[in-house]
């Protein structure tokens, strides 16, 4: 079996701002808590990806990982400045150090950071699972948030196995 890791992408306080919260943020946090608990119980490492830019200034409250899914001391936190979680980060080095061959993706933003990281991981040779009900976004002028999420789940099936939170099993011997 391939050794797995859970990647929780950009679940930062700013994404839950009361004036413009991410679509179905409470459901997203609930599913992420389930995934993180299952990963830890299964001995699967959890990696948090944290975005840094003008709106998410390192050290600010907006930049911090949402406290409902706070990292444990054993978790790895990767800083990034682009939608690609691998670009100019230590992610690949950390995954190789732990002999990870399979990444399970969840978080935000569906059509940007989740999509880009999924495609990049696949291109780099990782087995990828996208958790279909554990990523989210905002509506655009053209599409509702749900339409974007549905589109990403349909499109990324070419790069990843698509599973729900309930379907994901974190046990190295069982596979994911």
Give the pLDDT confidence of 47-68 residue by residue, as tens digits. Answer: 999 999 888 888 888 899 999 9
Q: At CA 164, angle to CA 169 and CA 154, rounded to 5? A: 130
Q: How many CB atoms lie within 10 A of CB 80?
A: 22
Rounded CA-CA distance 14/60 in Å is: 10
Quick one: pLDDT band at residue 174, thresholds 50, 70, 90?
Answer: very low
Q: How big is the chain by its Cα radius of gyration, in Å?
A: 15
Q: Please check whether residue 175 is in contact with residue 169, taking contact to mean a CB–CB distance below 8 angstroms.
A: yes
Q: Which tokens sit at 50?
A: 């944290």
CA distances from 62 to 10, 67, 162 (A): 11, 11, 30
Q: Please check whether residue 120 is in contact with residue 126, taking contact to mean a CB–CB distance below 8 angstroms.
A: no
The verdict on whether omega for the bond into residue 109 sits within 30 degrees of 0, i.e. cis, is yes
pLDDT at 1: 63
This prediction's pTM:
0.94
Q: Which tokens sit at 91?
A: 């992610």
Most confidently predicted of 56-60, 100-104, 171-175: 100-104
Q: Are strands 4-9 and 46-51 parallel, antiparallel or unpaired?
A: parallel
């Amino acid at each position: 079996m391939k050794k797995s890791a859970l990647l929780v992408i950009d679940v930062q306080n700013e994404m839950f701002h009361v004036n413009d919260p991410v679509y179905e943020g409470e459901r997203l946090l609930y599913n992420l808590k389930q995934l993180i608990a299952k990963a830890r119980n299964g001995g699967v490492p959890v990696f948090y990806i944290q975005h840094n830019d003008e709106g998410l200034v390192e050290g600010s409250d907006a930049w911090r990982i949402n406290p409902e899914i706070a990292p444990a001391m054993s978790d790895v936190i990767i800083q990034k400045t682009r939608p690609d979680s691998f670009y100019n980060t230590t992610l690949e080095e950390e995954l190789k150090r732990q002999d990870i061959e399979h990444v399970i993706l969840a978080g935000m933003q569906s059509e940007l950071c989740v999509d880009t990281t999924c495609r990049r991981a696949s291109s780099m040779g990782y087995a990828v699972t996208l958790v279909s009900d554990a990523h989210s976004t905002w509506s655009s002028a053209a599409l509702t948030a749900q339409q974007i999420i549905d589109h990403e789940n349909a499109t990324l099936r070419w790069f990843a196995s698509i599973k729900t939170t309930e379907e994901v099993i974190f046990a190295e011997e069982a596979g994911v």
